[in-house]
Amino acid sequence: MTSAPRAARGKLKIDVLIDSGQWKSAGNIRTLVRRAVGEAASTRSTSGAELAIVLTDDSAIRQLNRLWRGVDAPTNVLSFPAATRPAVDEPAHLGDIILA
pLDDT at 2 (0 to 100):
39
Please report the pLDDT score of residue 9 as a whole number: 44
Domain holding 76, by residue range, is 13-99
Q: Is residue 7 part of a domain?
A: no
Q: How confident is the prediction along the chain (100 residues), in pLDDT tens digits per residue?
A: 333 333 334 588 899 999 999 998 878 999 999 999 888 888 777 777 889 999 999 999 999 999 999 999 999 999 999 877 656 666 688 899 999 9
* pLDDT at residue 24 in the model: 84
Assigned domain for 47 exists: yes
Does residue 59 sit within a domain?
Answer: yes
Q: What domain count does the chain have?
A: 1
* CATH number (domain holding residue 27): 3.40.390.30
**Contact assessment for residue 34 and residue 14, using Cβ atoms and an 8 Å cutoff:** yes
**Is 2 domain-assigned?**
no
